[in-house]
Amino acid sequence: MTLLTYADLNKFKLLGIREICAYNRDHIYNFNSLGKKQMINLLIAKSKEGYDIVIPKFVLNNDKYANINNVSKSHIRITLKVYIN
């Protein structure tokens, strides 16, 4: 698994952030009416509460979801962990 920082969340497009929230629906809910920044803040808040936010492989492999070139796309899932620079 690869660790992403909170700054990496801004590299995802709105559709990508929605797919991440949908994939983690067991602890992230009521996100459909939120904007991109609000959903990113929700993901960060849940991550700080101790939940692992899993980013599925299909979100990284499709350009309509993400603008990430420097992350290895060979991993099945990527977990967003809390760490502050």
Whether pTM exceeds 0.85: no
CB 47 within 8 A of CB 82: yes
According to DSSP, the residues that pair with 85 across neighbouring strands are none
Cβ 64 vs Cβ 4: under 8 Å:
no
| 37, 14 Cβ separation under 8 angstroms | no
pLDDT computed for residue 74 by the predictor:
41
For the chain, the distance separating the N- and C-terminal CA atoms, rounded to the nearest angstrom, is 19
Q: Of 4-13, 23-32, 34-43, 60-69, which one has max mean pLDDT? A: 34-43
- pLDDT above 80: residue 37: yes
pLDDT in tens, 60-70: 778 888 876 65
